[in-house]
Amino acid sequence: MSEHSALVASMSSHARELQKLSGPGVDSWKNRRHLLDTKDLSTDELQTLVRAATICKEMMHSGEGPQPLLTSRTIANLFYENSTRTRSSFELAAKRLGATVINLDIASSSVAKGETIVDTGRTLAAMAVDAFVQRHNCSGSAMQIARELGDRVHIINAGDGWNGHPTQALLDYFTMLEVRGSVKGAKIAIVGDITHSRVARSNMWLLTKMGADVHIAGPPTLVPPELSSLGVTVHNKLEPAIEGASFIIVLRLQLERQKQGLIPSIGEYRRVYRMDHARLKLAAEGAKVMHPGPMNRDLEITHALADDAEKSLVLTQVGNGVAVRMAVLYLLLAR
């Protein structure tokens, strides 16, 4: 038996199913080098991603060990900004696919001596790292690295400033499809601190592309009115945004940015914008509440609603994050 045949024979049925995926979306992913944001993903690519993530979720829950799908690949997690969910789930995803993972500890790296993100990137690329999963507080930083090093490494944007967080939007979309089958025609509300939210932007691009009726709401200082150019309806009151909605994505109030006096007071924000069971009654029958995390409990969402196993999808989102990131890594890196 050849080495290749032995490798294939050692794979689970799910891993082989992943390898058998075909169609125009698979071809587009094969030709894609980076995942920088949702706005440049085609509907074929999105459908393929969902098919791949469904198989990856089955792999996760089947009890099978890591599969030798990306054994020749090395992935570097470069988190210049804090993360729990995204960083852990990318690491778990890469390991489940058999890849080698390094987590650069930015605080103890040469970044602390003033090394630029481009020099750090060049250094790791010289060590034959295949892909960077990068989070940075500067909007456009993933695009910058892709411009500088994109011929040598695959770049996955794990959140750049206020701009985008594509894998969060992809896992949100995947989670909605599990509940509803399709988002076409569904009213989806995104509420809270829209201005500072990369999650909101990536979701607006993706969900409008897939035919959802997207409404955003928050205080005037935290909702840029020009976002209506993305095809969403802008509100400053919570109630009209959530009325009849099938999904309500509640965003974290980015307290670290409120020193600029963008809201009158935390108490006022809580009174006017906090999602709770009473407000959820305005939404559609069976509506679900989502939150990308981390949550400010009892500020933008009540404890009771966040922990309501029937109405809240918060932990389902977290679990789906691993499956969706496995799919992204597989589609970008398996050749």
Residues lying near ligand CP in the complex (CB under 6 A) are found at 83-86, 159, 165, 168, 292-294
CB of 160 vs ligand CP, minimal distance in Å: 12
Task: Between 69 and 289, name the residue whose CB sits nearer to ligand CP.
Answer: 289
Say how many C-beta atoms besides its own lie within 10 A of residue 246's C-beta: 21
Task: Between 28 and 83, name the residue whose CB sits nearer to ligand CP.
Answer: 83
Distance CA 40, CA 36 (A): 8
**From residue 87, how far is each of 56, 134, 152, 166, 244 by CA, in Å?**
18, 9, 22, 14, 34
Task: Between 167 and 302, name the residue whose CB sits nearer to ligand CP.
Answer: 167
Task: Between 121 and 159, name the residue whose CB sits nearer to ligand CP.
Answer: 159
CB of 321 vs ligand CP, minimal distance in Å: 8
CB of 132 vs ligand CP, minimal distance in Å: 16
| Tally of residues, the chain | 335
CB 15 within 8 Å of CB 59? yes
Element (H, E) at 235: strand 233-235
Residues 6+ away with beta carbon under 8 Å from 279: 238, 239, 242
Distance CA 110, CA 132 (A): 17
Task: Between 120 and 197, name the residue whose CB sits nearer to ligand CP.
Answer: 197
CB of 225 vs ligand CP, minimal distance in Å: 26
Task: Between 166 and 219, name the residue whose CB sits nearer to ligand CP.
Answer: 166
Task: Between 125 and 169, name the residue whose CB sits nearer to ligand CP.
Answer: 169
Q: At what angle do helices 43-61 and 85-96 cross, to 10 degrees?
A: 80
Task: Between 150 and 293, name the residue whose CB sits nearer to ligand CP.
Answer: 293
CB of 252 vs ligand CP, minimal distance in Å: 8
Per-residue DSSP letter, 252? P
Q: Return the bridge partners of 75, or none.
A: 101, 131
Task: Between 18 and 324, name the residue whose CB sits nearer to ligand CP.
Answer: 324
For residue 133, the SS3 value is: strand
Q: Return the bridge partners of 154, or none.
A: 131
Put residue 161 in one of left, alpha, beta given phi > 0 → left and psi -120 to 50 → alpha: left
CB of 83 vs ligand CP, minimal distance in Å: 3
Q: What is the dihedral of CA 190, 195, 198, 200, to 10 degrees?
A: 10
Q: How many CA atoms lie within 13 A of 286 on its CB side?
A: 4
CB of 63 vs ligand CP, minimal distance in Å: 26
CB of 158 vs ligand CP, minimal distance in Å: 7
Report CA Rg, the chain. 20
For residue 162, the SS3 value is: coil
CB of 318 vs ligand CP, minimal distance in Å: 8
